[in-house]
Chain A
Amino acid sequence: MSATKSSDFGLRLRQNMGFAIAVVLFSVVYFLYHLAHPKGFSSQVLVQNSNEVFSLAMLAMAQTVPVLMGGLDLSVGAVMTLVDCLASHVLEGAGWSIFGGIALCLAAGAAAGFVNGCVVVFGRIQPIIATLATGAIYMGLALFLRPIPGGKINEDINWAMTNALGDFAETVGIFDDGKAPWFQFFAGVPTSLVFLVLVAGIIWVPFRRSVTGRTVYAIGSAEGAAFMSGLNIHRGKLAAFTLAGIFAGIGGIFMAIQTSSGNADIPMAGAYTLSSIASVVIGGTSLLGGTGGAIGSIFGTLILKVISFNFRIFDIAPLLQPLFEGLVLLGAVSLGALSILRVKNQLELFR
């Protein structure tokens, strides 16, 4: 019994090697970061890091879903920017109007993703080029909403979302305004980190286990075989892009809350899209589709970000930082190439 269990664990480890490496790498580097930081292991540092990571982590999760089905979504940055600009219009008020605004933003993100899916499924255009075009359209809509940066976000929600759980409870007025004795243990946890875990747990995990989620993986492994097995590949593709839109929308909402404004910045949207692809690959998802997952992509983002955190405390000349970031990215993706050393038949290289 125990023998099968351990071999089962070994198999799972081998299947998720990229993910395991990402988790270990991040843990070690982040631990060193806290050791070296003058205010290391404090809630304050954790809150700051978590806020910086949240939007890109959402985009990385968004990018993961189309990549899993063997596609790519070059519009995630544009969808995030579009929702960011929309949020800067609809999240000004107080009370229940905020819930309406957030629902509207999520719907906008989902709609943008759904349109991507429709162009890919019914237009039969390759995802990479279809989302390149729709990305331009979403960017245009974002510029239409915010020709120049501006707008305003309700201050309470800004405070509640970008600080620790204790501040969140105080603003919302739960748990004796966050002063309940049992709550003190959690009071220092960053709110954005909790939401990141919640989004992953409530949206991603059930999706992955659903038939539609498995269909997405199957399409990425072998679309023809998935179709012949009777899976609804149209629904799988539509769901993959819609889910990407929802994740990107959540990222956009947080970006608006964090910056208290909307900003339709085309180069920034492009940079976020490219970083999301890098996060997905570092997190152990294959660009060919079929293997990996959104949790890995979160760790991919964490690795990308923790490197730039370390630059701040290890006193690396600012001019050299982009070079180091590039080398780390190139090195990280080259790690995946080690597997070709084991290939015995050269034909296996062509997939």
Chain B
Amino acid sequence: MIDMTRYSPFSRLSRDDKPIAIAATFILVILSAGTCYTMLRFGSAPLLTPAYLIQQLQIGSFLGIIAAGMMLVILISQIDLSVPWTLAAGAMTATAVGGQWALPAALGVGLFVGLLNGFGVAYLRIPSMIFTLGVNAVMRGLMVAQTGGFAPQTAATDLMRYIAAERTFGIPHAIFVWLAISIGMVVLLRKTTFGRSIYAIGNKEAAAYLSGVATRRVTILAFVMCSVAASLSGVLLAGYATKAYQGMGDAYVLPAIAAVVIGGTNILGGRGRYLGTVIGVILIVLLNSVLSIMEMPEAGRQIIYGLVIISMLLVYGRGEKVAS
């Protein structure tokens, strides 16, 4: 059998870079397909204008911040399903507290949820899949009891509006927040002991423990960062929409996981680059946007969404023949 991959343009890349290159290429494919469609249909190319691309990045920054936190948790081979209601709780707390304490209060909620998740996973050793699911249910219960099950009447503060929706030099501030978090993530994962420990735990937790890594502390810290990122994203979303509402986070958890995985991070942990997660987020946001420009019905969107994830992973996400 001829090894086709040897002759592909991606063959010289390392195992971690290949997914990023392929995903980036696919983004260009989406953009050109969308442009062909608009050229034929309307005779213009709105997809290639800076205004459109910047708007997509602004929408992507909400998902991008969540995905950054989710990536940390996936890298230590855990998962955080409490993101939806951590996000909503952060947004609702921010609008309810108001004033200058809105942002700290929301991040405090994220900190609390993260500590709880980390405690359950690191100390009680409950599988994160089910523990975070339970925490999500509890957070939902707390918010329903707090708000009466309706969208709260409180509005976003001026600061939240300023961070999420307003622009400097034509660039929305939300993008700056995402950029700052991204730079922080790269430094964290590449230059710090904490970053090294995260990869070590994801590869083999027992080995990391025996090498002297404080596995419990690192696990808790990863969950705290994920929850704080989710609540921050909630604050931004509330600022963008000027209010918080029930179920505002439901549409974010699965795309966040998908973005991390499309970017080449191994779902079993221990491998992946942060740049891939950024590319994965942009890919998902652009795919959604182009499909809605094409007026694709929801049925077709879901099918294409699923097919894209599977085909991307078939190219570079395949595992071992037999797990050891």
The 0/1 profile, CB within 8 Å of B marked 1, for residues 275-299 of chain A is 0011001000001100000000000
Name 6 interchain pairs, CB-CB below 8 A, sorted by A: A133-B258, A147-B298, A266-B302, A278-B133, A327-B141, A350-B205
- Across the interface, name the chain A residue whose C-beta is closest to B268: A126
Which residues of B are found within 8 Å of A349, using beta-carbon distances? 125
Q: Kindly report which residue of chain A lies nearest to residue B305, judged by CB atoms.
A: A136
- Interface assignment of B320: CB less than 8 Å from any CB of chain A: yes
Residues from chain A with Cβ under 8 Å of B101 in the complex: none
Query: B135 — nearest CB in chain A belongs to which residue?
Result: A330
Asked if residues A325 and B137 are in contact (CB atoms below 8 Å), the reply is yes
Main DSSP-derived SS at the B contact region: helix
Binds B, one of A47-55, A138-146, A180-188, A253-261: A138-146
Query: Judging by beta carbons under 8 Å apart, are A72 and B129 in contact?
Result: yes
**Inter-subunit contact A140/B126 (CB<8 Å):** no
Q: A123-B314, A125-B319, A233-B322 are in contact. List 10 more A-B contacts (CB 8 A).
A: A124-B319, A133-B306, A142-B299, A278-B130, A278-B133, A281-B127, A319-B145, A323-B138, A325-B141, A337-B124
Docked CA distance A333–B317 (Å)? 31
CB pair A350 B209 closer than 8 Å: yes
Contact A132 B309 (CB under 8 A): yes
- A135–B301 Cα distance when bound, in Å, is 13
Q: Mark A332-351, 1 if CB is under 8 A from B, else 0.
A: 01101100100000110110
Q: A136-B302, A140-B301, A277-B133 are in contact. Are A330 and B138 (CB under 8 A)?
A: yes
Given A143-B298, A340-B124, A333–B134 Cβ distance below 8 Å? yes
With a CB–CB cut-off of 8 A, which chain B residues contact A137?
A: 302-303, 306-307
Please state if A320 and B145 are interface contacts (CB–CB under 8 Å). Answer: yes
Query: How far, in angstroms, from A130 to B268 measured CA to CA in the complex?
Result: 13
B271 nearest CB across to chain A (Å): 13
A266 partner residues in chain B, CB cutoff 8 A: 302
Does A324 make an interface contact (CB < 8 A)? Answer: yes
Q: Complex: how many Å from CA A46 to CA B297?
A: 42
A206 to B50, alpha carbons, bound, how many Å? 62
Per a CB cutoff under 8 Å, which of B124, B142, B206, B306 touches A135? Answer: B306
Most buried by A among B125, B136, B140, B247: B125
Q: Annotate B56-82 by CB proximity to A: 1 below 8 A, 0 otherwise.
A: 000000000000000000000001010
> Which residue from A130, A135, A324 sits with its C-beta under 8 Å from B313?
A130
A227 neighbours in B (Cβ, 8 Å)? 322
A281 to B120: give the CA distance in the assembly, Å: 15
Closest chain A CB from B184 CB (angstroms): 26
Kindly state whether residue A230 has any CB partner on chain B within 8 Å.
no
Nearest A residue to B300, CB-CB: A140
Chain B residues with CB below 8 A from A134, complex form:
306, 310
Pick the residue among A139, A141, A326 that contacts B140 (CB under 8 A).
Answer: A326
Return A127 CB to nearest CB of chain B, in Å.
10
A334 to B117, CA, bound (A): 12
Is A95 positioned at the interface, with any CB of B under 8 Å from its CB?
A: no
Q: Mark A83-124, 1 if CB is under 8 A from B, else 0.
A: 000000000000000000000000000000000000100011
* Min distance, Cβ B127 to any Cβ of chain A, angstroms: 4
CB pair B145–A323 under 8 Å, yes or no, is yes
| B302: contacting residue among A124, A143, A333, A334, CB under 8 A | A143
Does residue A199 face the partner (Cβ distance < 8 Å to B)?
Answer: no
- Please report which residues of chain B, range 282-296, place their CB below 8 angstroms from some CB of chain A when the two chains form the complex: none
**CB of B276, distance to nearest CB on chain A (Å):** 14
- Bound-state CA distance A336–B209 (Å) is 23
Assuming the contacts A340-B124, A347-B209, asked whether A223 and B299 have C-beta atoms less than 8 A apart, the reply is no
* Complex Cα spacing A134 to B81, Å: 19
Q: State the CA gap A274–B135 with chains docked (Å).
A: 13
Taking CB atoms and an 8 Å cut-off, the chain B residues in 135-182 that contact chain A are: 135-142, 144-145, 148-149
* B41: interface (CB < 8 Å): no
Residue B235 CB within 8 A of the other chain? no
Instruction: Give the distance to chain A from B151, nearest Cβ to Cβ, in Å.
Output: 15
Nearest A residue to B262 via CB reads A129
Determine the chain A residues whose CB is within 8 A of the CB of B138 once the complex forms: 323, 326-327, 329-330
Contact between B318 and A125, CB atoms less than 8 A apart: yes
B47 interface residue per 8 A CB criterion:
no
Q: What residues of chain B lie closer than 8 Å to A129, measured between beta carbons? A: 257-258, 261, 267, 309, 313, 317
- Which chain A residues in 20-75 approach chain B with CB under 8 Å? 72
Q: Are A322 and B140 in contact (CB under 8 A)?
A: yes
A130 and B310 contact, Cβ closer than 8 Å, known pairs A140-B300, A147-B297, A326-B139: yes
- In the complex, which of the residues B144, B257, B304 has the most CB atoms of chain A within 10 Å of its own CB atom? B144
Given contacts A137-B307, A323-B138, contact A287 B130 (CB under 8 A): yes
**Contact between chains at A323 and B206 (CB < 8 Å):** no
Given contacts A132-B309, A330-B135, A334-B126, contact A141 B303 (CB under 8 A): yes
Query: Is A128 on the interface with B (CB-CB < 8 A)?
Result: yes
1/0 per residue B193-220: CB within 8 Å of A? 0000000000001100110000000000
Contacting pair B250 A267 (CB below 8 A): yes
Q: Chain A nearest CB: distance from B107 CB in Å? A: 22
Cα separation A270 to B79 with both chains bound (whole Å): 17
Q: Is A224 an interface residue (CB 8 A)?
A: yes
A140–B302 touching, CB < 8 Å = yes
Q: What is the CA–CA distance of A58 and B165 in the complex, to the nearest angstrom? A: 46
